[in-house]
Chains A and B, each alone.
Chain A
Amino acid sequence: MARTRHPLEAAIESIVRLSGWSAIVFVALISLFLLKEGLPAFGEVPLASLFGTRWYPIEGFYALGPLIWGSLVVTVGAALFAVPLGVGAAMFIAEVAPRWLREVLKPLVEILAGLPSVVLGFLGIVVLVPAIRETLGLATGLTALTGSLLLAGMALPTIVSVAEDALDAVPSAYKIGSLALGASRWQTLWRVTLPAARTGVLTAIMLGVGRAIGETMAVMMVTGNAPVVLFGPHALVSPVRTMTATVAAEMGEVARGSVHYHVLFTVGLVLFVISFVVNVLASIVLLKRRAAAGRMLS
């Protein structure tokens, strides 16, 4: 077949190709930049300080541990609230709610997903912080728990929306087949629909929790920003400081090229590595599932 190509077609193809490559180039540039600015910190700051327990830049203490710990506590806490609640809500919307309620809830949840985090942070300061201080009888309501709750609220719409799509995509033939065998609606949902939608639900959780890890504004507003490491149950109700909040709060005040500046980039680098690892793990899980599904279909 003769290949006579329309010039417009060729132009469009190169534009599309350019867009694809530029995405890769940008990611590469960002990582290079992070490495270039962040790595020198390992030479400038004694390792004992980097891996210590104090973050106190004015006196030269640059411990990453407390910040990583802060992010971890807040994110894990958020996931503990958001995952069961989010998957439960998705199950309700997809399988239990009557049609009219479903048609109201779904768009509402999607609007929530688009809420700017500052707005949520504002709500957190005005409502959640005093509520937590009073109900738990704490000295301050600016705690990891507050951050977790707020982040959970932020991750929820994403989880609900994506998980609901996944549940909704399960062929109704599965459900009818299960019901016809004498299963109740709940048994069908739990034993057939949810397992069949597993991949999508997992993606929903990853996306939601991913949003929680990277969140900055709202967390900075309600967690108290104390870079300390506390273990045990009281860690949840004490102030913490996350990596993202640290970078956001201090970046504006450091001298370009100073030690502090480089360490903040190191923090960014750590964050980058963590989200990279989470993404890769998620892809591996999804690929494995997909490969298994592929085998089943072949």
Chain B
Amino acid sequence: MVIAPGSASAPALEPKIEIENLRVCYGAEPPALDGITLTVPARQITVFFGPAGGGKSTLLRTINRLNDLVDGARTEGRVRLDGEDILGPEVDITRLRRRIGIVFALPVPLPMSIRRNLWYGLELAGERSRRVLDEAMEKALSAAALWDEVKDRLDEPAIALSGGQQQRLCLARVLALEPEVIMLDEPSSGLDPISTAKVEASLQELKQQYTVIIVPSSVQQASRLADWAGFFLQGELVEWASGRELFLAPKDRRTEDYLTGRFG
């Protein structure tokens, strides 16, 4: 299995998500994504970056089927998770969304306590034991570097947390479900540098265990985090390579222009 063209020297990586010829349209508009083919490797940080309107968020929302909620969204092509098709109508979407968690650009704590936010997904999955729920909560909050800050006020409304804490809460909420893939859509767009550093540090930890896909808030963040990177421009995957190759020696002129700040 070749993960990316020209990356034969890379260590053998296990493919996690295989995307083949993906095309996504909203209504009659030109496709938001077209001809996307790439393979997200397991237990690596994959970065999708590029200027706004490139289709990065659409790709994330396609992978965990949140696009189903958008009226008039049409998807063609194949997306496979561990070799299984996930776009078909017979796919158990609830289970899929538990396997592929997502953290949005704007943190959205649910209108309930911190504890309840962490319990939510697990309770829905049928977990009733308070001991199990609390253990999962502590583990997830610790992994998201939030436990020390909130352990004394778990029953306070989650909205009372600061923006950075809310973002990490949303990450923790996803981690509590023990997904296989974690996707983050501009997770630090509203964060100060210290919170960003904390989130990034926890991502480096998390990739030991999880497959991480991130749409970064800046090129700098992209280059800091990327094991693998895809550059998206107006619905097209311009370049896809290992992070080192793509950021140090981009092959496509447009990638280079974007990286050096000539546009974007």
Contact = CB atoms under 8 A, between A and B. Distances in A.
B98 A182 contact: yes
Contact of B69 (A176, A183, A192, A196): A176
A297 interface: yes
B169 to A, nearest CB: 11
A99 B159 contact: no
Contacts of A196: 111
Interface string A10-41: 00000000000000000000000000000000
B69 A179 contact: yes
B241 to A, nearest CB: 29
A5 B177 CA distance: 63
Given A173-B106, A195-B111, A182 B69 contact: no
Nearest to A192: B110
Interface string B115-140: 00000110011000000000000000
Given A99-B71, A180-B97, A174 B124 contact: no
A177 interface: yes
Contact of A181 (B69, B95, B97): B97
A176 B66 contact: yes
Interface string A265-298: 0000000000000000000000000000001111
A288 B69 CA distance: 35
A295 B156 CA distance: 11
A183 to B, nearest CB: 5
A178 B111 CA distance: 11
B160 A296 contact: yes
B147 interface: no
Contacts of B112: 195
Interface in B70-117: 71, 94-95, 97-98, 101-102, 104, 106, 108, 110-112
Contact of B101 (A180, A195, A297): A180
A187 B125 CA distance: 11
Interface in A176-210: 176-184, 187, 191-192, 195-196
Given A183-B94, A184-B94, A192-B111, A178 B159 contact: no
Q: Tell me whether chain A's interface is mostly helix, strand or loop, or mixed.
A: helix
B163 interface: no
Contacts of B98: 181-182
Interface residues of B, number: 27
Interface in A149-182: 171, 173-174, 176-182
Contact of A187 (B69, B71, B124, B157): B124
A182 B110 contact: no
Nearest to A297: B159
A177 B124 contact: no
A238 B234 CA distance: 72
Given A173-B106, A195-B112, A178 B69 contact: no
Contacts of A178: 110, 120
Contacts of A171: 108
Contacts of B69: 176, 179
Nearest to B158: A296
Nearest to B92: A182
Contact of A179 (B66, B174, B177): B66
A45 B132 CA distance: 68
A201 to B, nearest CB: 14
B174 A173 contact: no
Contacts of B108: 171, 173-174, 176-177
Interface string B35-73: 000000000000000000000000000001010010100
A181 B106 contact: no
A184 B64 CA distance: 14
A187 B120 CA distance: 10
A181 B104 contact: no
Contacts of B95: 182
Contacts of A295: 157, 160
A182 B111 contact: no
Given A181-B97, A191-B120, A296-B159, 5 more contacts: A177-B110, A180-B102, A187-B124, A191-B124, A297-B159
Interface of B: 64, 66, 69, 71, 94-95, 97-98, 101-102, 104, 106, 108, 110-112, 120-121, 124-125, 157, 159-160, 170, 173-174, 177
Interface of A: 99, 171, 173-174, 176-184, 187, 191-192, 195-196, 295-298
10 contacts: A173-B104, A174-B108, A176-B104, A180-B102, A181-B101, A181-B174, A182-B98, A182-B125, A191-B124, A296-B159
